[in-house]
Chain A
Amino acid sequence: MSDDIKKDKKTEELETSEWLYSLDYVLQNSGPERVVELLHQLQIRAHKSGVHVPFSANTPYINTISKEKQPPFPGDREIERRIKSLIRWIAMAMVVKANKQEGSVGGHISTYASAATLYEIGFNHFFRGKGDGYEGDQIYFQGHASPGIYARAFLEGRITKEQLLNFRRDLKPEGGLTSYPHPFLMPNFWEFPTVSMGLGPLMAIYQARFNRYLEDRGMKKPGGKVWAFLGDGETDEPESLGAITLASREKLDNLIFVINCNLQRLDGPVRGNGKIIQELEAIFRGAGWHVIKAIWGEDWESLLDKDVDGKLVKRMGEVVDGEYQKYSVEGGAYIRKNFFGKDPDLLKMVEKMTDEQLFKMKRGGHDPEKVYAAFKSAVDYVGKPIVILAKTIKGYGLGESGEGKNVTHQQKKLNEDEMREFRSRFGIPIADEDILTNPFYKPDEDSQEIKYLKERRKQLGGFVPSRKTDVRPIKTPPESLFEEFYKGTEGREVSTTMVFVRILAKLLKDKEIGKLVVPIVPDEARTFGMEALFRQVGIYSHAGQLYDPVDKDSLLYYKEAKDGQILEEGINEAGSMSSFIAAGTAYNTHGINMIPFFIYYSMFGMQRVGDLVWAAGDIGAKGFMLGGTAGRTTLNGEGLQHQDGHSHLLAYPVPNLVTYDPAFAYELAIIIRDGIKRMYEDQEHIFYYITLMNENYAMPEMPKGAEKGILKGMYKFHASDKKSLKLKAQLFGSGTILNEVLKAAKILEDDYRVACDVWSVTSYKELRRDALEAERFNLLNPTAKQKESYIEKMLAKEDGVFVASSDYVKALPDSVSKWFPRRLYSLGTDGFGRSETREALRDFFEVDAKHIVFATLTALFKEGKIQDKALDKAAKELGINPNKRNPMNS
C-alpha cells in the first residue's frame, strides 16, 4: 500500500468517527427525532448536489426492537414453556396417530412446530376472546398449523381425547377434527377458513377494514384486533400481498400480520438465494406498513453486544436463507466454520462457546421474550397496519426426523425412537410403553399448567377460536315494499338492473333494515345506474371527503363520507368479495345481521374469484352476489372476455349458493324478499347469486300464483289459448331470452299452427337440486313411496315437445333434462363471445326467436308430427342456415 493511500484511508477513518461521534452526541442531547431530522436534511442536501443515495427500504438484518427497548416479560416463562411443550407433543402425536391408522389421512407436524411460540405468546398474552366487555379479536390461524390449535383446545378442556384420535376423520359419529379451519364442519370452533393459501391474509385485511366501517358508522364499539398468521411461502400468492396498500391507506392499525419465516415452503427453501425477511420488509415498508422483525433470540443478541465494529451484523446480512437453513440441519461445528469462520474476529467472539451451545442459539421466533416484545409493540402501535416477521426453523424440535429438512413439510410419521427422543427433549411425563398407545397426556385440572392456561384465557376474555352462531333474526321487510314490482311497469321499458337498484334504494330507506344493508361495488356503480345512491347513502371513507368533488353542484355528486354506507372497492373483485365475506359473517363476528349486496360484472365473478366464493360457502357468509351485465348476448358489444354465458354453471358446485337468472321485475323482487327471509329471518346458512341484465323492456304483471314456482325454479308464465291447434310445444326461457321465447311462441302459433305454453325458468340449479334430492331418496329407498321431483310434477300432464333457451351454456337445461317426460332440446350460448349487436349475437348463438321456432319445428318433426317438406319451407321463411358455423368452436 502506498503512503498516499494509507494517509487517505486514515483521514477517512477519522472523518467517519467524527460523524459518528456527532450523531451519538445529537442522539444523547436531543433524542432520536432530532437524529431523524438531521439525516433527512443531509439526504436532501446530498440529493440537491446530485449525490444519489441508493434506495433501500431495508433495515439491517437484526431485530427491530433492540434489547434495551424490550419490555419486561409479564408471564411465567417456566410454566408457559411447559404448556407449550405439552402442546407441541400432543400436536405431533395426533398427526402421527392419525397416520398409523389404516388409510393414513395426512396432516402436518412441522408447521406448528415452527410456529408454537408465536401462537402461545398470542394465547397467553394477546388474543382477546368475546367475553363480557370485550370486542374480541379475529384470528386467522394458518391452516396447516391446526394440530397445535386443537392440542391447546384439548388442554383447555374444549376438545376430548376421542376427538384428537379422530383428527381428519370428519365422518366419525362421535365427532372428528377437521383437517384445517373449516367453519362449515366445526361451526362452534373455527371462524375463518384460511387454508387456501393467500385467502386468509386477503380476507383479514378486509375484515379489519369492515370492522372500521362498522365503528365509523356507529354500529360497533371500537376495539379488537385482526390477526393473520401466514407462512412465508404463502406470501408468493398474489392474494397475500395484493391488497396490502389498502390496509396502509386506511391506516388499519387494528390489523396485525404475523409471518412465520421458517424459510421453507413445501418443496424447499422459500428464497434459497436471498432473504425472505428482507424481501418482505421492503415490500411492507414500501407499502406503508410498520414492520417488526424478530430475527434473533437472546443468545445471538448477547453476541451482538460484543459486535462493536459491526462485523457480526454485516455477516448476518450477507448469509442467504439456503445457508441459514443448512445451519439448522448441520450443527454447531458447521456454524462455527461457515458462519463465524469467515472472519477471525467473529471466530473469536464465540471461542468460549461449545458447538452444542452454538447450535442451540435461538432464532427470534422461538424466543418468547422477543415474540412478546414484537406482539406488544404491534398491539400498541398507532396509525399503520403492522407486520411481524419472525424467523424460525421449520420442524423445530423434530431433530433428526425433520428439523430444517427439505422434506419436513410432509413429515407425518415418526417411529417409536423418534417419538421417544421428542418426548425427552420436551420433558413430557409419558412412559415409554405409553408413547404409541396413549400419548395424549393432560395434566390434572388443578396442576399449575392447566390453572395458568385457563386463568390467562379468562383474563383475556375467553377461549379462542370459538364461534357463536346464535344471533337474533331480523324481520323480513313487508310485502308492501316490493309490491310495486309485482304490478309490472305498464309499458315502461326498464332493465332488471334498474329494478334491482330501485329495490336496493328502497331497502336502504327501510327503517328496520336500511342501516344493515351494505352495497359493495368494484368501480361499476355508474355501469349499473347506481350513482343516485352515492348521494342517498354516501361512499364510505374513513377520512371523510377532504376535497371538493368536481360534480359537487350536481344532484348525483360523488359523495364520500366517514359514515358512508357504500363500499366502493375500486377495480378489485377479490377485495369486494372479501368485503362481502366480512359483511356477510358479521352476524357471528359481531352479532349484527349485515346484508351485503355485492354487484359486479358477472364475467368477473365466479371465474375470477371462485375460490373466495367457495370460502364464503364454508364460512357461512350471507348476502346477495349480483352478476350485472350478464348474459352472453345481452351484454352486447363488449366481446369475448366480457360477455358471460357460463357463470351460472360455475356456480353449480357451491353447495349452499342459491342461484337465479330472473327475467322480470316481479321475479327479482320475489327472489330478493325470499332471500332476506331465508337468510336473516329463518337463519339458513345460504347465500345468493342472481344475474342482472342491462336490456330494457316492459316488465309484465306477475301471473297469479307464480311465487312458488319462481322460487322453485320454474313456472308457467303463459298458457296457450289456442285449444284447437293439434301441434303443441312447451317452451322454456330464462333471463332476457325469455322475451325471444315469447316472440317465438307467437310466430309458432300464428305462422305454424303450433300452440305454445311458455315457462319461465328462474333457476336450473334449484330445479336440479330438487330433482337430485328426490332421485337420491328413491335410489336409497326403492321400496318406499317414491318421490317425485318438482319438474316431474309440473310436466307430467303437459303435451308437446320441450325446447329450452337461455343466454347461458346448454349444460344448464341439459342438467335437468333427464327428469323431463320427453326429450328436452336445449339452446344456449356455448362458445366465446363476440363484439356485436344483440340481434347479431342472438343469431350467431342461435338463441333468437327464429332459431327457437326452428328448433321447435325440428323437435316436432323428430316426433313425427310434421313433414320434412314443411320443415324445409320453414327454414327458408325463417332464414335458417343449416351450414352456419358453430359458435361453440368458432
Chain B
Amino acid sequence: MATEFKLPELGENIESADVASVLVKEGDTVKKDQAIIEIETDKATIEVPSTIEGTITKLFVKSGDKVKVGSVVMIVDEGGTTEVKVENKNVAKKEK
C-alpha cells in the first residue's frame, strides 16, 4: 500500500523550511523515526523523522528546496517486510 509522507507541523509559527540535506534515496527502506531529511529554519537545523515504514517509491525533495508544512515529501510502499527486503536486494544488485 502506497502512503504519502508529508512535512509535519514543525513547531508553532514555522510554516516552511529549507531542505539542507536529504538523507535517503528512492528504493531505500525506511523505519519509523528514521531521519528522512534535514531542514533548516533561520535559527536551527532539524531532522525530520519518518512516521511510516516501508520502501520509498518516490522522493519529491532535494537539497536546497523550500518546502511547506503539509507538502508531500515522499511516497512509501508499506508492503510486507519480506517483500521489502527482497526489493532492497534488487536495488543493491542494480547498483553494481
Contact = CB atoms under 8 A, between A and B. Distances in A.
Contacts of B12: 550-551, 554
B10 A556 contact: yes
Contact of B45 (A528, A532, A550, A551): A532
A528 B41 CA distance: 12
A498 B46 CA distance: 11
Q: Which of A495, A554, A557 has the most CB of B within 10 A?
A: A554
A555 interface: yes
Interface string A468-497: 000000000000000000000000101101
Contacts of B14: 556
B69 to A, nearest CB: 9
Interface in B40-76: 40-49
B80 interface: no
Q: Which of B8, B11, B48, B49 has the most CB of A within 10 A?
A: B11
Q: Is the interface of A mostly helix, strand, loop or mixed?
A: loop
A691 to B, nearest CB: 17
A531 B45 contact: no
B11 A555 contact: yes
Contacts, number: 49
A823 B89 CA distance: 68
B42 A531 contact: no
Contact of B44 (A501, A550, A553): A501
Contacts of A502: 45
Contacts of A694: 43
A49 B41 CA distance: 59
A696 interface: yes
A556 B11 contact: yes
Contacts of B20: 492
A694 B42 CA distance: 10
Contacts of A554: 8-12
A696 B8 contact: no
B9 A498 contact: no
Contacts of B43: 495, 497-498, 528-529, 694
A530 B47 CA distance: 12
B10 A555 contact: yes
Interface in A529-558: 529-532, 536, 550-551, 553-557
B47 A532 contact: yes
A529 B42 CA distance: 9
Interface string A555-574: 11100000000000000000
Contact of B9 (A501, A528, A530, A555): A555
A555 B42 contact: no
Interface residues of B, number: 17
A528 B43 CA distance: 7
Contacts of A494: 40
Nearest to B51: A555
Q: Is the interface of B mostly helix, strand, loop or mixed?
A: loop
Contacts of B10: 554-556
A528 B8 CA distance: 22
B42 A532 contact: no
B48 A498 contact: no
Nearest to A556: B11
Nearest to A554: B9
Contacts of A551: 11-12
A498 B45 contact: yes
Interface string A500-537: 01100100000000000000000000001111100010
Contacts of A536: 47
Nearest to A694: B43
Contacts of B11: 531, 551, 554-557
Nearest to A534: B11
Interface string B69-95: 000000000000000000000000000
B8 A501 contact: no
B42 A556 contact: no
A532 to B, nearest CB: 4
A262 to B, nearest CB: 53
Contacts of A696: 42
A777 B41 CA distance: 51
A502 B48 CA distance: 14
Contacts of A505: 45, 47
A529 B9 contact: no
Nearest to B48: A555
Contact of B8 (A492, A498, A555): A555
A498 B20 CA distance: 13
B44 A555 contact: no
Q: Which of B11, B20, B44 has the most CB of A within 10 A?
A: B44
A217 B62 CA distance: 38
Contacts of B46: 532, 555-556
Contacts of A530: 44
Contacts of B42: 696
Interface in B13-41: 14, 20, 40-41
Nearest to B42: A696
Nearest to B41: A529
Nearest to A495: B43
Given A501-B44, A505-B47, 8 more contacts: A495-B43, A497-B43, A501-B45, A531-B11, A536-B47, A551-B11, A554-B12, A696-B42
14 contacts: A492-B20, A494-B40, A497-B43, A498-B44, A502-B45, A505-B47, A528-B43, A529-B44, A532-B46, A532-B47, A551-B11, A554-B9, A555-B10, A555-B48
10 cross-chain pairs, A with B, having the tightest CB-CB distances, nearest first:
A529-B44, A529-B43, A556-B11, A554-B9, A532-B46, A555-B8, A555-B10, A554-B11, A553-B9, A502-B45
